[in-house]
């Protein structure tokens, strides 16, 4: 769960044993976030225009990402940043490790970062003997718990304050009451010492502005600034889809991000970092490194049906409105990113053999698509990825079980040949009659039990075609036609018989 | 004279014949001349939403053939099936005759409440249903077809009907077609939340404009031992005073 790339994501298996505390905690927090988000949105008559602008800007950036990335790298270097290109997670981990080793790093403090969760960086650093401390409160909690994040912006959203208090008592050896203020104070004491002692800070970035080579981080707790200014060495791991062309674009996205995430107009801290410190007395590290992470994104960019996934700015709003996520929590999605965006991103990063369960982890209700601030077309991407699983496409062979594919083939005549379909509507009531109890069918054998385990089934009552025919007189006309045909046939036979009889008599 | 072709959909045909009979009664009362293309079968939605596009295509072709014989608009008691028809153009290469027909039919296929309010310009269909009802907004009507107010306008004109707001009215009931059988445990939780909200509303009936949601919620209410009945919007609009 923490840092390792899964080999198979068993969404259903997890959903069969969700601890009941998780949906309760998740629903409480996400409900609050979405409530404030909706209030902020209602204050902005230009919200839909902003969304449209953001969509166009993000798509434009993705379609010209090669150019903007090169510009970003040039500007980063011009600002004194050392740029490292990482094709995959292993290269990114190796780059960070090498920088740390070269500087003899012992103690690392981290800003909350989805990119470092994606590449499992903490494990690699710890395995190399370094101390790594997550300093975002939520990340601090899940690091103690030894799990990954269960929400994009609220990593410990699944835990209640009582559980966090118990965790603090157990892992930190302190008396911890189930009170958010007291718990924050305990974390703060641990963190203060660590900030001062750290010899390296690691962050991600919410955005990377290409025209100036500026890293942008959006945080609420102040820990981010501590991590990126106190230690002499700062490394930022930035996925390539974080690039924005210019500050105008950034402005549009910042207006949407905090409002969609937490319902804030702006997060408490929006930090802009352009290069390391230039002179003694200035704030900031002596050395700043940026690791640009691809890790499968170039492949996604090549796929017109999936590429708009990368427009995402990680506000987490789709999680906050998703009835599936809110009932199962983030761990069901098997990797660092969860909810609707996780359900479409993970299969594209890890492939169908690992994650073929996820494109189906949506009722296609469309709530995510309705609120997404950059208009990620969730529904069409869900269908696109389901098609990849079912039929395969240019990027991957099909990963659906053979029996499912055969069933789909068998469904074509059953649902599409009129006579067979109609025969089915007449036969099924008879087949299911033994299971019927009054107005309902309470239970059915597998695989139909997957419906009846949750609610009873309705009995088949296909009577419309007969009703329509009777009231429009069609059946009657058909009967008349049949009768006429039969009479004509009989008359024909009779005539021939008489003729034959006559001929016989004449002979 | 307004004409329309009836697109009855698999679920309504097989499980909710009263909805279809009510649809015919209302439309004829409003002076619409109806035809029923008998070759129609499933529109292919379950296959399409499962990712089997190659298998959806023959079903789409059959549907286009059945309804393409007439120029009359198509009307259906299901938002998700209409939404499927509006996806048909994506299944065929632009420029092909099938694509042209798909574009044409996608533009003249309507969900029932959409047809009444936007094509016929009718809100009052002369229904009388003196009961407390609440309304569940189905995802495909609401977000799929963008029909947020139509059903409520129609319900608002029904004599004697008292509409009670439903908490989390726009949240999915957990049906989601294949979703309900691929992930029954999650579907159950979503359905249970919906049923709980319906019971808490204090209504005698819950009105739903989509067969799939109706089967899910009606079954959920039954299993919860509730006396609240789930009805299709059409059943309420067709009612003439008594219980539907």
**pLDDT tens, residue by residue, A277-306:** 988 778 889 999 999 999 999 999 999 999
For residues A116 and A101, is the Cβ–Cβ distance under 8 A?
no
Q: Which residues contact A70 (CB under 8 A, 6 or more apart)?
A: none
Residues of A in contact with B52 (CB under 8 A): 387, 390-391, 405, 408, 411
Residue-wise pLDDT for B95-142, tens only, equals 999 999 999 999 999 999 999 999 999 999 999 999 999 999 999 999
Q: Could you tell me the two tokens for A283? A: 């704030």
Minimal Cα distance from A424: which residue of B?
Answer: B14
Q: Which 3 state secondary structure label does DSSP give A198? A: coil
Q: Could you tell me the two tokens for A125? A: 């650093």
Q: Given the structure tokens 């005539």, which residue do they identify?
A: A495
> Is residue A478 very low, low, confident or very high in pLDDT (cuts 50, 70, 90)?
very low
Residues of A in contact with B180 (CB under 8 A): 363, 450-451, 454
Q: A363, A379, A473: best mutation site toward chain B, by most B Cβ within 10 Å?
A: A363
For residues B105 and B67, is the Cβ–Cβ distance under 8 A?
yes
Q: What pLDDT was estimated at residue A267? A: 94
Across the interface, do A447 and B181 touch by the CB < 8 Å criterion?
Answer: yes
* Rounded Cα distance, B78 and B144, in Å: 11
Distance from CA of A36 to the nearest CA of B (A): 16
Q: Given the structure tokens 């239970």, which residue do they identify?
A: A443
Distance from CA of B39 to the nearest CA of A (A): 6
Residue-wise pLDDT for A198-226, tens only, equals 999 999 999 999 999 999 999 999 899 99
User: Residue A494 phi/psi, 5° resolution?
Assistant: -60, -45
Looking at beta carbons, which pairs linking B153-156 to residues 24 or more positions away fall under 8 Å? B153/B117, B153/B123, B154/B113, B154/B116, B154/B117, B154/B123, B154/B125, B154/B233, B154/B237, B155/B207, B155/B233, B155/B236, B155/B237, B156/B123
Nearest Cα to A157, choosing from A37, A337, A334, A24? A24
Q: Which residues pair with B75 in a beta bridge?
A: B6, B110
Q: What is the pTM of this model?
A: 0.93
Distances (CA, A) of A141 to A134, A145, A183, A223, A392: 8, 6, 10, 14, 40
Q: What is the ipTM of this complex?
A: 0.96
* Rounded Cα distance, B63 and B44, in Å: 9
Distance from CA of B218 to the nearest CA of A (A): 9
Q: Taking 70 as the threshold, does the pLDDT of residue A118 lie above it?
A: yes
Across the interface, do A408 and B50 touch by the CB < 8 Å criterion?
Answer: yes
For residues A439 and A459, is the Cβ–Cβ distance under 8 A?
yes
Across the interface, do B62 and A15 touch by the CB < 8 Å criterion?
Answer: no
């Amino acid at each position: 769960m923490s840092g390792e790339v899964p080999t198979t994501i068993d969404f259903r298996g997890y959903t069969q044993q969700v601890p009941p505390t998780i949906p309760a905690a998740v629903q409480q927090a996400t409900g609050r976030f979405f409530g404030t988000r909706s209030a902020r949105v209602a204050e902005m008559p230009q919200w839909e225009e902003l969304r449209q602008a953001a969509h166009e800007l993000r798509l434009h950036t993705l379609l010209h990402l090669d150019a903007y990335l090169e510009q970003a790298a040039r500007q980063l270097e011009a600002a004194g940043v050392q740029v490292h290109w990482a094709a995959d997670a292993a290269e990114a981990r190796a780059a960070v490790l090498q920088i740390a080793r070269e500087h003899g790093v012992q103690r690392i403090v981290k800003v909350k970062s989805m990119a470092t969760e994606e590449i499992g960086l903490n494990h690699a650093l710890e395995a190399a003997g370094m101390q790594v401390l997550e300093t975002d409160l939520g990340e601090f909690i899940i690091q103690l718990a030894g799990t990954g994040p269960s929400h994009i912006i609220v990593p410990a959203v699944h835990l209640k304050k009582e559980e966090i208090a118990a965790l603090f008592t157990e892992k930190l050896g302190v008396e911890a009451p189930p009170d958010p203020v007291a718990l924050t104070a305990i974390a703060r004491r641990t963190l203060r010492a660590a900030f001062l002692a750290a010899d390296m800070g690691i962050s991600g970035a919410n955005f990377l502005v290409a025209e100036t080579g500026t890293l942008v981080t959006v945080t609420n707790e102040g820990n981010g600034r501590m991590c990126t200014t106190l230690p002499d060495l700062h490394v930022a791991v930035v996925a390539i889809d974080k690039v924005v062309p210019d500050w105008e674009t950034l402005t549009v996205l910042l207006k949407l991000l905090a409002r969609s995430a937490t319902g804030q107009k702006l997060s408490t801290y929006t930090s802009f970092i352009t290069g390391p410190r230039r002179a003694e007395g200035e704030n900031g590290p002596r050395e700043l490194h940026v690791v640009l992470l691809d890790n499968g994104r170039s492949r996604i960019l090549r796929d017109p049906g999936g590429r708009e996934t990368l427009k995402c700015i990680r506000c987490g709003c789709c999680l906050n409105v998703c009835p599936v996520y809110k009932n199962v929590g983030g761990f069901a999605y098997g990797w660092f990113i969860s909810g609707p965006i996780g359900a479409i991103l993970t299969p594209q990063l890890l492939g169908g053999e690992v994650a073929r369960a996820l494109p189906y982890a949506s009722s296609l209700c469309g709530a995510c698509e309705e609120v997404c601030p950059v208009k990620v077309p969730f529904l069409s991407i869900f269908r696109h990825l389901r098609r990849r699983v079912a039929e395969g496409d240019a990027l991957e062979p099909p990963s659906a079980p053979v029996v499912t594919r055969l069933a789909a083939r068998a469904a074509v005549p059953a649902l599409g040949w009129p006579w067979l379909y109609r025969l089915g509507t007449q036969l099924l009531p008879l087949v299911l009659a033994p299971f019927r109890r009054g107005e309902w069918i309470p239970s059915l054998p597998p695989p139909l039990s997957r419906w009846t385990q949750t609610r009873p089934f309705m009995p088949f009552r296909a009577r419309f075609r007969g009703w329509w025919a009777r009231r429009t007189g069609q059946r009657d006309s058909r009967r008349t036609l049949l009768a006429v045909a039969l009479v004509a046939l009989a008359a024909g036979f009779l005539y021939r018989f008489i003729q034959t009889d006559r001929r016989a008599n004449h002979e | 004279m307004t004409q329309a072709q009836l697109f009855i959909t698999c679920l309504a045909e097989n499980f909710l014949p009263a909805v279809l009979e009510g649809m015919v009664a209302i439309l004829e009362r409003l002076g619409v001349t109806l035809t029923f293309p008998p070759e129609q079968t499933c529109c292919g939605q379950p296959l399409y939403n499962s990712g089997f596009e190659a298998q959806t295509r023959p079903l789409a072709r059959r549907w286009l053939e059945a309804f393409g014989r007439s120029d009359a608009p198509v009307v259906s008691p299901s938002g998700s099936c209409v939404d499927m028809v509006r996806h048909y153009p994506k299944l065929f290469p632009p420029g092909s005759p099938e694509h042209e027909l798909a574009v044409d039919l996608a533009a003249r296929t309507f969900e029932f409440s959409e047809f009444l309010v936007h094509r016929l310009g009718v809100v009052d269909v002369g229904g009388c249903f003196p009961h407390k009802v609440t309304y569940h907004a189905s995802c495909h009507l609401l977000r799929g077809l963008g029909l947020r107010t139509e059903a409520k306008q129609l319900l608002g004109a029904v004599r004697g009907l008292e509409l009670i707001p439903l908490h989390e009215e726009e949240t999915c009931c957990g049906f989601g077609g294949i979703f309900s059988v691929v992930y029954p445990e999650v579907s159950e939780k979503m359905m249970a939340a919906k049923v709980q909200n319906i019971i808490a509303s204090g209504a005698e009936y819950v009105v739903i404009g989509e067969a799939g949601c109706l089967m899910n919620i009606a079954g959920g209410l039954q299993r919860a031992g509730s006396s609240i009945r789930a009805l299709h919007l059409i059943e309420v609009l067709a009612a003439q005073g008594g219980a539907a």
